């Protein structure tokens, strides 16, 4: 099993550009989530999904969109990048919302 | 005030020392997690606790639900234990959100 994979590992964007961070898992997990990690702060939940076709907002959803068309994939879209979105983004998955999560390797995003 | 507080923020130890990292939380929870983030950035789940104590190798995690407090202990610390240790709680509400502490950066010197 590859576990949770994320692409790209690094990305630099200009303000106003859009892009999609990819996340995939091969463990048949129902629950998937996106977090951002900023210096001095804990991980914060952006969006999550409890199964294909179902998504919901987390703590910091503004400026991000998600969709879950399959169990395996959970892409995160930045609609119009802003410098405040410079962060490290982690995707995670688990069997259910109450289980421990498996984390992807992260994507380091810089918005200039 | 953060819902999950960790102490200390930074910790430097000599190889072989006994390490304790503390986590206090202010919300009702269904479970508490300890995570390890390596210098390369990867995050690994160490423990999930809802009561009592768990042990895995040199790592021990305890939780006191009444006091809303958990500790992570590392016995006979080693330089390879150097990492950021993160406490996270699964909030006992309709959303079952996760809330994370800011992490404790541990450096173990040889």
Kindly report, residue by residue over A70-84, the tens digit of the pLDDT: 999 999 999 999 999
Kindly report, residue by residue over A17-58, the tens digit of the pLDDT: 999 999 999 999 999 999 999 988 889 999 999 999 999 999
- Test A43 with B30 for CB contact under 8 angstroms: no
Q: Does residue A1 register a pLDDT over 80?
A: no
- Best of A34, A43, A87, A106 to disrupt the B interface (most B CBs within 10 Å) is A43
The two tokens of residue B14 are 């000599």
Whether B108 and B13 have beta carbons less than 8 Å apart is answered as: yes
Average pLDDT (B15-31) is: 96
- Test A98 with B31 for CB contact under 8 angstroms: yes
Pairing label, strands B29-37, B43-49: antiparallel
Report the largest interatomic distance among the alpha carbons of chain A, rounded to a whole angstrom.
38
Pairing label, strands A107-111, A10-13: parallel
Backbone φ and ψ of A84, nearest 5°? -65, -10
Q: Which residue has the tokens 């390369």?
A: B40
CB of B104 within 8 Å of a chain A CB? The answer is no
Nearest to A30 by CA among A91, A104, A94: A94
CA Rg, chain B, in Å?
A: 13
């Amino acid at each position: 099993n590859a576990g949770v994979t994320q692409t790209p590992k690094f990305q630099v964007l200009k303000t106003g550009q859009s892009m999609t961070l990819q996340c995939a898992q091969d463990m048949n997990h129902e629950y998937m989530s996106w977090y951002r990690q900023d210096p001095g702060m804990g991980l914060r939940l952006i969006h999550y999904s409890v199964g294909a076709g179902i998504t919901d907002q987390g703590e910091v959803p503004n400026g991000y969109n998600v969709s879950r068309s399959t169990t395996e994939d959970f892409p995160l879209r930045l609609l119009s990048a802003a410098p405040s979105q410079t962060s490290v983004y982690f995707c995670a998955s688990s069997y259910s919302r109450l289980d421990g999560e498996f984390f992807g390797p992260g994507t380091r995003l810089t918005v200039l | 005030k953060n819902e999950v507080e960790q102490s200390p923020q930074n910790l430097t130890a000599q190889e072989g020392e006994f390490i304790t990292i503390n986590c206090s939380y202010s919300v009702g929870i269904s479970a508490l997690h300890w995570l390890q983030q390596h210098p390369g950035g990867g995050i690994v789940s160490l423990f999930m606790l809802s009561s009592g104590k768990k042990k895995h190798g040199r790592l021990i995690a305890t939780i006191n639900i009444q006091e809303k407090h958990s500790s992570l202990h590392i016995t006979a610390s080693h330089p390879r234990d150097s990492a950021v240790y993160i406490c996270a709680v699964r909030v006992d509400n309709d959303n079952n959100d996760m809330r994370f502490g800011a992490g404790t950066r541990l450096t173990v010197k040889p």
